[in-house]
Amino acid sequence: MFWAARCMPWRSKPQRRRTESHMRYRSFGRSGQVVSAVSVLLDGQTRRSAKEWRNLVRLSLDCGVNGFEIAGDSPSVLEGAAEGLSEVERELLFVTWRPAAFTAAPANTVEAFVARLGLEYLDLIAFDGPPPSLDGLRGTRRVRAYGLAGQDAESDLLLSGGAFDALAAPYSPASGWKERNRIKAAAAQDMAVVAHSICPEHILPKPEGLLKKSLFRDRANPLAGVGGYRFLDNTPGWTAEELCLAYVLTEPSVTTVRFEVDRPERLERLAGIAEKDLPTGVAAQIEMARFSVTSP
């Protein structure tokens, strides 16, 4: 379920600039929360000052983004995010933490993180691998939902157990049936799906003249080499990344698409894609490309 809004009703404590936003918002699994169709990753491994992180958060809010994932616990990220997020009422935000590691006392770790960020609670905590016991964390009342980002059989087994509320997974126009069935299975359990890595390098258009093959070179795969993903770079008014985003957002199982952004104009451009329809014929081209064995 999703809907459009011209601008999230930010109730800022200090007055700040607002811009017109046409972001769409979707229900986050069974949590009852809503999150913007496009969400922003704040990765502590990226070198930015606290001021730069604060400005990125503010610009994201201006673009209608209310979903933020914080990776790690970098002091500069936490300082900048705390300043930017403090300008918005807490219930209008959706904040995720993906910790690098936990100590022997995960509940204390979460308490300390929430305090440093200046928030009352986290909407989601996501684990890259098997997490510590969730019983202690649930007792803190500082975390509303739990998710997994692992792609192995052990993670799939944990997901099927019903203890988690969200799945973070790569999903792109080139994703095969295994990846597609995985996110559909998660959605069938009322889990939210956070998609990332939506535009893998191997599908980006290559220079002309490379990988051209005859239609009949491979009789076992007569569609091999036909078309491919070259159209991603030849659709008027769209970049390859924008087409990938628009396509992923058509998948009903996907709740939000997570990006790490490096430039303000890119953030504004991608946030604007949430309200745009995929150009006519592109979905069919993507399906053809997926079945092309030697697609560029």
User: What stretch of H or E contains 34?
Assistant: strand 34-36
pTM above 0.95, yes or no: no
Best CA proximity match to 241, nearest among 196, 199, 286, 201: 199
Lowest mean pLDDT among 155-169, 189-203, 210-224: 210-224
Q: What's the chain's average pLDDT?
A: 83
Residue 209 has pLDDT above 70, yes or no: no
State the Cα–Cα distance between residues 241 and 258, nearest whole angstrom: 13
Strands 166-170 and 146-148: parallel
Best CA proximity match to 147, nearest among 198, 196, 111, 112: 196
State the Cα–Cα distance between residues 266 and 84, nearest whole angstrom: 19
List pLDDT tens digits, range 66-109.
Answer: 999 999 999 999 999 999 999 999 999 999 999 987 766 888 88
Listed in sequence order, the residues at least 6 apart from 18 whose beta carbon sits closer than 8 Å to its beta carbon are: 7, 10, 62
3-state secondary structure 197-252: CCCCHHHCCCCCCCCCCCCCCCCCCCCCCCCCCHHHHCCCCCCHHHHHHHHHCCCC
Give the pLDDT score at 36: 97
Give the pLDDT score at 234: 86
Q: Is 95 in contact with 122 (CB distance < 8 Å)?
A: yes
State the Cα–Cα distance between residues 132 and 136, nearest whole angstrom: 9
Instruction: Give me the domains of the chain, ranges plus CATH numbers.
Output: 2-201+239-279 (3.20.20.100)
Give the pLDDT score at 104: 65
Q: Which of 4-18, 124-138, 222-236 has the highest mean pLDDT?
A: 124-138
Give the pLDDT score at 58: 96
Listed in sequence order, the residues at least 6 apart from 12 whose beta carbon sits closer than 8 Å to its beta carbon are: 87, 88
Best CA proximity match to 23, nearest among 59, 51, 72: 59
Percent of the residues in the chain that have a pLDDT greater than 70, as a whole number: 83
Residue 65 has pLDDT above 90, yes or no: yes
